């Protein structure tokens, strides 16, 4: 039912984590989330920013973020997203998972060559 | 969250626009940023879109998710509102326990009665027969020139149908009889069936223990094996498997038990013991003789996809061919078919559907009554609803709220109704109304429960729609402006009066129906049955076995029984015959009058024949009209004689004097020596048909019914008779004694059953309608207190006030009566067949109904009227 969203492979499981992290610094509209990720990750999303939106909607459906319309900084009508309590809890779980996973990968990369 | 949802609602679920707005905002922001960095607008847009990736894909994905989310939200909201409504409904109903109890009880009565009758209709009419593919099963019957048909088919005709038909996959036959069973406790009568080789297989009847019949066991004298009915096996042998191989005596012959049928497996008629049909020389499609000795019931399974008409046509073709091949025996005869289901339930179908309709009327009256109760609460509720509307509830929401309350009431009524139905069905079955077929298969099945549920929901809608419309009509807030004063107004009152008229006319329809059925029943009971029912009883004896090898032994034994019983104190007459009044006709034989022209082609040249001992007619109390009764001198060696009834005289001797005439009956030539009065042979509602009696000395049968007329209660002699019989032959089955009165009551059991049920329903409907009048009149009195007070202050007396109120109730009743009688005339056709001796416009019935209705109206309005008359004008007018 859900169509696959075009995103760089490396971001596939981590896009949700990035969005949740972005929103944990305060409510944002979609473009602001994109900008935050762009700056924070050194433009990892360069191609396929569009995949951000299905991800946002899915998070909304799961009640991890809540959305509402309001004026943007240049006074345009924009959809703002904010983290819910469940979203915050989810972020903690996902972040921990990711840290453990990354640590494991780094450990592997730094391991001495096998004899 | 919920505030946002409401806000969002205001905008409407515009997911498509929202998604577009969101995505384009993103692109525009990106373009702005790029332009600020110095790109040209066109280049900036191109770069922004490239960064975005596949725009359409993202948009589609967002839409799918958002729409799904929207749907879930709507559903969740609906469920939570429903939960609120239900909780609110329960609160409301608890707040007015009196109203709630009365409404639920009324509905339970209506729904319960419907479920009970439906469970009977379902079990008897709708459920298919317990056979494999019952829709393709037909019974083959002989069709006679005058259009009547009989179940009996002769063995050669059965063989011919089996061989020559082109419509049946399989044609099977069986014969039934009553036999004496010895070798299993007390001698007793059992119902025995001889079945053809494929009958069990064709009907899908399984053997539970042991085996069925083998092909070679259908050869003459080889088939001394028996299969037991499962219930009989349980009753007689306690379900003991070791009965297999045991030999019992059935009808004087030894049979070895080889098997037991599966539980519930049976033919259309119940039986105890099954044995193979012996295929003697008569079972041949070319047999010339025995074609008019009909003793088989023939059942066929048609090929798939054939209609009754095709089956019928083919059977007629076979019949016509037999007429040509065997003109002496088969002239004028042919076959027809009837669906097995139709055969079994055909004559109870209409009455049961009528009962279903009657009970439906009761439910309608119950609905109207509850609607009336709801309307009575309408004024109070209107304020409450106005408050809720003012607080923001929409009209549809209020409508739904009221409907929820109705459904809660309806389901509660249905639940209680189910209990009533359970009890009602048990009572109905226990009453064993007049051998209604398949009654044993009636019960509260899943279908019945589903039916009850559906009826409850439908009922809720019917009774709530009017009050709900009434309450939510107009500007709701008006009720608030009106303040505390009752707001139902005169239109509400008119509605309620109309509802009362409606329920009265429904009750009148039922009352007229019940009245007509009761009148018919009374007329039936007034019919002179042609015999004397008091101080006489009858019992059946079946003489089989070694002691009764030939006719002389049987004759001597019958003579001995009669002599011994006659000697008992209190016995005045003892006679014996093969049939009893109101219990059937006896065998049918070809019949011709010597010297008379042949009968017209549409008249059957045949007559029903019974054999009797000399005192038979004196014992049943049927008078001799002319000539003489039989005497001991009419024995096997003397000239053959016969007595005929008056119907036979009318049919066969319209001009001549039958006395002294010689007639041919079967193979015998007999002289008519006497004429007896007619007695009713089937039920009191059916005219007598021609019947011929032969002396038992000349026409001897193994089964005979002995009739004993006494000076006092005949049943008091039962044990004395029993011991006399046992003293003569201990191997005779002990008979049941039937007082002749019981022949009458048994034959009218069905009409009595229908009449009493419809009467019950009419009574319930009338009681409900009377409650309706009471409610409306009480309301009128409450509304018109000021007016009544003014009248009384101006000099009206208490009597005038009572007359005014009661008069108004009578007016409503009169309108209801007129509409009801008119409707009853229109609907009456459906019970026409059940009526006897009365017409639909029976003045006595209609007068009685009007009187009953008038009295109920007076009874229901007298209390409110008295209350009105008791009003103290001064205090009312001051307030």
> SS3 sequence, B121-144?
HHHHHHCCCCCCCHHHEEEEEEEC
Q: In what side-by-side order are the strands of the sheet with A28-29?
A: A28-29, A77-83, A65-71
Quote the tokens at residue B160. 């011919």
pLDDT at B860 over 90: no
Measured over the CA atoms of residue B135, residue B139, residue B143 and residue B148, the dihedral's sign is negative
Which of B66-75, B333-342, B510-519, B867-876 is predicted with the least confidence, judged by mean pLDDT? Answer: B867-876
Q: Are B140 and B298 in contact (CB under 8 A)?
A: yes
Quote the tokens at residue B452. 């009850």
Distances (CA, A) of B497 to B326, B372, B501, B779, B780: 74, 9, 6, 11, 10
Average pLDDT, chain B: 85
Question: At B536, is the pLDDT very low, low, confident or very high (cuts 50, 70, 90)?
Answer: very high
Nearest residue on chain B to A62, judged by CA atoms?
B69
pLDDT at A89 over 90: yes
Given an 8 Å threshold on Cβ–Cβ distance, is A2 in contact with B64? yes
**What pLDDT, on the 0 to 100 scale, is given for residue B314?**
93
Tell me: do B682 and B756 sit in the same domain. Answer: no
CA B579 to chain centre: 29
pLDDT at B370 over 70: yes
**What pLDDT, on the 0 to 100 scale, is given for residue B475?**
57
* A40/B195 Cα distance (integer angstroms): 93
Q: Give the contacts of B617 (CB within 8 A, at least 6 positions apart).
A: B575, B623, B624, B629, B643, B676
For residue B647, report the phi and psi dihedrals to the nearest 5 degrees. Answer: -60, -40
Given an 8 Å threshold on Cβ–Cβ distance, is A77 in contact with B21? yes
Write the residue in B25, B53, B60 that is nearest to A31 by C-beta: B25
Interface of B with A (CB under 8 A): 1, 4, 18-19, 21-23, 25-26, 28-30, 32, 50-55, 57-58, 60-62, 64-66, 68-69
Given an 8 Å threshold on Cβ–Cβ distance, is A60 in contact with B69? yes
Q: Which residue has the tokens 């494991």?
A: A104
pTM of the model: 0.72
Tell me: do B594 and B721 sit in the same domain. Answer: yes
- Give one word for B597, left, alpha or beta, with left for phi > 0 and alpha for psi -120 to 50: beta
Q: Which residue has the tokens 């309301």?
A: B779
Nearest residue on chain A to B28, judged by CA atoms?
A31
Given an 8 Å threshold on Cβ–Cβ distance, is B22 in contact with A30? yes
Given an 8 Å threshold on Cβ–Cβ distance, is A5 in contact with B25? no
Residue B301 within any structural domain of the chain: yes
State the first-to-last Cα distance of chain A, in angstroms, to the nearest integer: 49
Domains held by chain B: number = 4
Nearest residue on chain A to B50, judged by CA atoms?
A47
- DSSP-assigned states of every residue in A69-90: EEE-TTS-EEEEEEE-HHHHHH
For residue B58, which residues of chain A lie inside 8 Å, CB to CB? 5, 50-51, 53-54
- Last-in-domain residue among B36, B62, B83: B83
Q: Among candidates B255, B263, B279, which has minimal Cα distance to B192?
A: B255
Q: Give the contacts of B578 (CB within 8 A, at least 6 positions apart).
A: B586, B610, B611, B612, B696, B701, B703, B704, B705
Q: Among candidates B275, B181, B175, which has minimal Cα distance to B237?
A: B181
pLDDT at B726 over 90: no
Tell me: do B608 and B710 sit in the same domain. Answer: yes
Helices A52-61 and A30-40: angle between axes, nearest 10 degrees: 120
User: Nearest CA to CA, how far is A74 from chain B (Å)?
Assistant: 10
For the segment A46-69, what is each residue's pLDDT rounded down to a tens digit?
A: 557 888 898 899 999 888 999 888
Residue B134 within any structural domain of the chain: no
User: Nearest CA to CA, how far is B117 from chain A (Å)?
Assistant: 51
For the segment B304-331, what is each residue's pLDDT rounded down to a tens digit?
A: 988 899 999 999 999 999 989 888 888 8
Q: Give the contacts of B752 (CB within 8 A, at least 6 positions apart).
A: B434, B521, B745
Given an 8 Å threshold on Cβ–Cβ distance, is A53 in contact with B68? no
User: Nearest CA to CA, how far is B367 from chain A (Å)?
Assistant: 46
- DSSP-assigned states of every residue in A40-66: HTTSTTSS-GGGHHHHHHHHHHTTSEE
Measured over the CA atoms of residue B248, residue B250, residue B255 and residue B261, the dihedral's sign is negative
- Last-in-domain residue among B332, B357, B375: B332
Nearest residue on chain A to B32, judged by CA atoms?
A74
Tell me: do B263 and B360 sit in the same domain. Answer: no
For residue A72, which residues of chain B lie inside 8 Å, CB to CB? 25, 29
Q: Which CATH architecture has domain A9-107?
A: Orthogonal Bundle (1.10)
- Last-in-domain residue among B67, B83, B99: B83
What is the complex's ipTM, to 2 decimals?
0.86
Tell me: do B578 and B714 sit in the same domain. Answer: yes
Quote the tokens at residue B271. 């039986």
Quote the tokens at residue B261. 């049928």
Q: Which residue has the tokens 């609602």?
A: B9
For residue A7, which residues of chain B lie inside 8 Å, CB to CB? 53
Q: Are A18 and A38 in contact (CB under 8 A)?
A: no
Domain with B256 in it: 145-332
Q: Among candidates B742, B380, B724, B351, which has minimal Cα distance to B564?
A: B724
Burial B390-403 (b: 16+ CB within 10 A, else e): eeebeeeebbbbbb
Domain-wise residue ranges, chain A: 9-107
Tell me: do B320 and B386 sit in the same domain. Answer: no
Residue B121 within any structural domain of the chain: no
**What pLDDT, on the 0 to 100 scale, is given for residue B620?**
93
For the segment B547-590, what is each residue's pLDDT rounded down to a tens digit?
A: 888 889 999 999 999 999 999 999 999 999 999 998 888 888 88
For the segment B43-95, what is each residue's pLDDT rounded down to a tens digit?
A: 999 888 888 888 888 889 888 988 888 888 888 888 888 888 888 888 888 88
Residue B818 within any structural domain of the chain: yes
């Amino acid at each position: 039912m859900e169509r696959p969203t075009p995103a760089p492979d490396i971001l596939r499981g981590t896009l949700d984590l990035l969005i949740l992290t972005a929103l944990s610094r305060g409510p944002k509209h979609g473009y602001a989330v994109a900008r935050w990720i762009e700056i924070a990750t050194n433009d990892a999303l360069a191609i396929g920013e569009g995949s951000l939106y299905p991800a946002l909607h899915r998070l909304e459906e799961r009640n991890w973020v809540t959305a509402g319309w309001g004026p943007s900084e240049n006074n345009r009508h924009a959809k703002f997203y904010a983290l819910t309590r469940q979203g915050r809890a989810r972020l903690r779980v996902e972040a921990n998972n990711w840290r453990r996973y990354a640590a494991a990968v780094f450990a592997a990369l730094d391991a001495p060559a096998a004899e | 969250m919920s505030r946002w949802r409401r806000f969002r609602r205001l905008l409407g679920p515009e997911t498509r626009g929202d998604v577009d707005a969101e995505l384009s905002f993103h692109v525009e922001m990106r373009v702005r940023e790029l332009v600020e960095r110095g790109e040209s607008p066109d280049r900036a847009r191109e770069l922004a879109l490239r960064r975005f990736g596949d725009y359409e894909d993202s948009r589609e994905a967002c839409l799918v998710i958002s729409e799904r989310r929207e749907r879930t939200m709507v559903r969740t909201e609906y469920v939570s509102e429903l939960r609120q409504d239900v909780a609110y409904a329960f609160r409301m109903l608890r707040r007015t326990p009196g109203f709630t109890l009365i409404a639920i009880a009324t509905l339970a009565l209506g729904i319960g009665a419907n479920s009970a009758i439906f469970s009977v209709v379902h079990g008897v009419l709708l459920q298919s027969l317990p056979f494999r593919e019952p829709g393709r099963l037909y019974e083959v019957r002989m069709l006679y020139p005058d259009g009547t048909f009989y179940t009996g088919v002769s063995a050669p005709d059965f063989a011919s149908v089996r061989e020559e038909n082109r419509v049946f996959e399989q044609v099977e036959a069986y014969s039934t009889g009553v036999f004496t069973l010895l070798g299993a406790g007390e001698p007793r009568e059992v119902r025995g069936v001889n079945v053809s080789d494929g009958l069990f297989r064709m009907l899908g009847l399984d053997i539970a223990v042991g085996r069925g019949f083998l092909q070679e066991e259908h050869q003459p004298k080889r088939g001394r094996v028996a299969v037991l009915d499962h219930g009989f096996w349980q009753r007689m042998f306690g379900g003991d498997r070791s009965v297999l191989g045991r030999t019992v005596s059935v009808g004087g012959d030894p049979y070895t038990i080889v098997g037991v049928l599966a539980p519930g497996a049976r033919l259309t008629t119940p039986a105890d013991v099954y044995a193979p049909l012996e295929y003697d020389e008569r079972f041949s499609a070319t047999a010339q003789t025995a074609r008019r000795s009909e003793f088989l019931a023939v059942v066929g399974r048609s090929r798939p996809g054939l209609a009754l008409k095709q089956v019928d046509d083919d059977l007629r073709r076979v019949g016509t061919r037999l007429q040509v091949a065997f003109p002496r025996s088969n002239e004028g005869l042919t076959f027809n078919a009837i669906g097995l289901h139709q055969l079994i339930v055909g004559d109870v179908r209409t009455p049961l559907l009528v009962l279903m309709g009657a009970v439906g009327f009761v439910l309608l009256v119950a609905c109207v009554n509850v609607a009336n109760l709801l309307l009575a609460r309408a004024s109070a509720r209107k304020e409450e609803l106005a408050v809720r509307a003012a607080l923001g509830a929409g009209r549809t929401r209020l409508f739904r709220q009221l409907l929820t309350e109705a459904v809660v009431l309806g389901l509660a009524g249905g639940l209680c109704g189910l209990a009533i139905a359970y009890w009602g069905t048990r009572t109905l079955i226990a009453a064993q109304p007049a051998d209604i077929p398949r009654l044993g298969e009636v019960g509260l099945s899943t279908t019945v429960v589903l039916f009850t549920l559906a009826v409850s929901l439908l009922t809720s809608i019917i009774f709530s729609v009017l009050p709900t419309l009434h309450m939510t009509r107009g500007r709701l807030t008006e009720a608030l402006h009106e303040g505390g004063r009752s707001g139902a107004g005169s239109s509400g009152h008119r509605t309620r009066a109309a509802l009362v008229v409606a329920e009265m006319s429904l009750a009148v329809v039922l009352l007229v129906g019940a009245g007509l059925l009761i009148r018919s029943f009374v007329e039936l009971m007034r019919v002179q049955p042609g015999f004397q029912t008091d101080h006489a009883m009858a019992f059946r004896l079946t003489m089989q076995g070694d002691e009764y090898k030939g006719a002389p032994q049987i004759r001597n034994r019958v003579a001995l029984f009669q002599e011994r019983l006659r000697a008992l104190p209190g016995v005045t007459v003892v006679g014996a015959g093969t049939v009893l009044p109101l219990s059937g006709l006896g065998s049918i034989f070809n019949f011709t009058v010597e010297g008379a022209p042949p009968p017209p082609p549409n008249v059957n040249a045949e007559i029903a024949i019974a054999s009797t001992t000399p005192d038979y007619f004196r014992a049943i109390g049927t008078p001799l009209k002319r000539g003489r009764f039989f005497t001991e001198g009419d024995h096997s060696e003397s000239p053959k004689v016969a007595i005929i009834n008056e119907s036979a005289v009318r049919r066969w001797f319209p001009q001549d004097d039958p006395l002294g005439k010689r007639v041919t009956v079967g193979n015998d030539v007999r002289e008519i020596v006497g004429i007896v009065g007619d007695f009713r042979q089937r039920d009191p509602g059916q005219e007598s048909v021609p019947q011929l009696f032969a002396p038992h000395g000349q026409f001897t049968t193994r089964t005979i019914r002995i009739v004993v007329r006494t000076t006092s209660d005949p049943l008091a002699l039962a044990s004395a008779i029993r011991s006399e019989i046992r003293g003569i032959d201990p191997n005779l089955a002990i008979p049941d004694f039937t007082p002749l009165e019981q022949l009458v009551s048994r034959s009218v059991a069905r009409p009595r059953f229908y009449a009493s049920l419809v009467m019950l329903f009419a009574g319930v409907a009338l009681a409900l309608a009377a409650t309706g009048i009471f409610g409306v009149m009480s309301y009128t009195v409450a509304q018109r207190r000021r007016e009544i007070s003014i009248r009384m202050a101006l000099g009206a007396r208490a009597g005038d006030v009572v007359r005014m109120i009661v008069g108004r109730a009578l007016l409503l009743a009169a309108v209801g009566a007129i509409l009801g009688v008119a409707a009853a005339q229109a609907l009456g056709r459906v019970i026409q067949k059940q009526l006897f001796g009365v017409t639909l416009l029976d003045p006595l019935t209609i007068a009685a109904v009007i009187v009953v209705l008038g009295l109920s109206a007076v009874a229901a309005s007298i209390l409110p009227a008295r209350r009105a008359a008791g009003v103290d004008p001064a205090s009312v007018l001051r307030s």
